Structure 1
Amino acid sequence: MTGPAVAFDQVSKRFRIWHEKHDSLKARLVNRGGGRYSERSALESVNLTIPAGITYGLVGANGAGKSTALKLIAEILVPDSGTVAVNGKVSALLELGAGFHPDLTGRENVYLNGSILGLSQKTLDLRFDDIAQFAEIGDAMDFQVKTYSSGMHARLGFAVAVHVEPDILVIDEALSVGDAAFQRRCAQRITELRRGGRTVIIVSHDLGLVRTLCDRAALFDRGHLAAEGSPGEIIALYERSVHSDAVVDDAGRIRFGNGAARILDATIHRPSGEPPRNGEPTIITIDLGEFDQGRQIAVGVNIRRNDGVMISQTTTRGVIPIPPTLANGGTLAYEIPSLAVLSGSYVLHTWLFDDDSGVLLDAVDHRSFDIEPADASVDGGAVALGGTWRLH
């Protein structure tokens, strides 16, 4: 492929927000129009060039325009002004389940999606076994898609998207719902596509994924292209746009707060030291740095899914005071009798704050981690309900 994979030239896109919509002819005639609306700008005069053969990340807050940009690349939307030039065949993995007919089986949807993307039945027959093997949904391939869990949707959607051999693959947050093993295989396949000269464009709130997989990245802010650069540079800019006091520490972690106290490290593990596992005792260990002995501090911890969705959060406030004896540094442990979080990829986040004033002293994402599934687990979602089935 010669030239860039994608080029935006002064692209703008606006959406109508209807406050009162008149759908019938009578209502339109009586009210002299289709109704009242305002316009929201999703993209404004964006110039962006994405070279061929790289993995490119789009970063920004919700509503920044990232997903709109992907839909323009996939030709699901058209710009109101400007041009979007796309060089090659595009395969898009956008909203969960997009492109799947809920009443068709997985097998039927593979053939439907493949034909829409221009593949013949003969070609699909040759590739079907590879698609099924990658998706790993077993007999569910012959079940209606409306019976699928979010993880099964993601597996099948990604398997189809990468096996149609696109020139450009666009992915919008679709990798966040799979389990840890599937996410690792997706990352490996994205790397293989890049080595084969394909272009991959990713929208994700999982900044670790962007940092690991992407060669370049762009920051979107309220419909504008704010910056382009290396993933590390763009992630740092994004964090600073969210937290004005954000800094990069010696370990390369982005942290924020006034710095009057620091969390040195935090880990999550089973009592044996092994990685956390659903349904088993788990310990979160937090190492504190020095702080003013006269200051009453509190510690907080949360676990987020790698797409930013909060799973659980807790603090020491009102539960256990942090004694002055830890002012020279010490260790806290948060003990969980049985971990209800199901298998997947997560981020451990900790923070310190002044217990009297509430002022944030330190906050940092310590590490991404995987939770292993319990033996023979068939549960889906983020947490286990812990119930028992009984017949009445």
Structure 2
Amino acid sequence: MGEWLYLVIGIAALVVLGGVGLVAGTLRGKRGGAVGEVEQRDAPTGGAGTDLLEPPTTTPPTTLPPVPAPQAPEPEAPTAPAEPAAPTLERPEGTASRLQRLRQRLAGSQGGLGKGLLALLSRDRLDEDTWESIEDTLLAADVGVKPTQELVEQLRTRLRVEGAGADVRSVLREELVTLVDAGMDRRLQVSGADGAPGVVLVVGVNGAGKTTTVGKIARILVAEDRAVTLGAADTFRAAAVDQLATWGERVGVDVVRGAEGSDPASVAFEAVRTGVEQGVDTVIVDTAGRLQNKAGLMDELGKVKRVVEKQAPVTEVLLVLDATTGQNGMIQARVFSEVVDVTGIVLTKLDGSAKGGIVVAVQRELGVPVKLVGLGEGPDDLAPFTPEAFVDALLG
């Protein structure tokens, strides 16, 4: 009996224990998750009585939108370098206004010679002392000995024949125009034959204004609507080449240049060849002006002329002289005339000289006419020479 009692109590205990296990399993099933599954939960926020099995009561963190990855900037389209603005071309002054300024400039600077002669010739009595004073005035103006003697003789004769009623001013004007030789051909030969361009060689010592004269002649021709090419054959002076290039840019004229120290004849040849190919009207060549000795100068200028004429004949050789140098200018004129066949003379700085008689002297010395005269530093201060305008300016 006692054994059955123990058996019943044991069976009852097993039943109770089984029921408790069943209830615990049910509760676990309700909280979710199969047996053996590990549940990930946030760490506790702290605080008494927090059940580690319960979900956290804090507000979940705000989820930020994803930050876009930085994008490389789009490459900018390459821009073409800005082209420099084309230089504004100048319109050179015409011949008519140049001649007008020639009269005005010479009248202001050369009037001393003419006024002095008129004052002496207007005396009541023309004695020997007066005629000697007239000779001295002409010689001081660089007219030269022989031309002075000729002029004085002509004036003596005419005033003696015409007597006291003679118009002294008219007589002096006529004789001065004759002395300057109005019959000379002063036209610039700037046109070639058979479609070839005219070729102008410009010669003279450095310092006389040779390169500037080339630029100013180009302006005269451009004002007459002629196409021009310049040759910078004074290759021994870099400044001369740059200066000539500037003159060309101002009026839209091409300038052919070579490296510093290159052969002047090759540059002159290339300039004329370019002019022939482009069909221009005139090619003007600036030559070197060194004057160490006549032999070297002759070789250099002779070579330039020979090489150039393989392309086109030289139509003009202009000798540039500084009017203020007086007898030194005459010496230079003689040397160059022996080296090259000078066909015309350009007198620069004539407006600043009281010695206008150099016009007469140099023409007598070389037997060639003064064709152009420089009147100042301005770009258009170069004008064709006319004896009448010159003499009128001398007389004021």
The TM-score, its normalising length taken from structure 2, stands at 0.24
The TM-score, its normalising length taken from structure 1, stands at 0.24
The structure where strand makes up a greater share of residues is 1
The structure where helix makes up a greater share of residues is 2
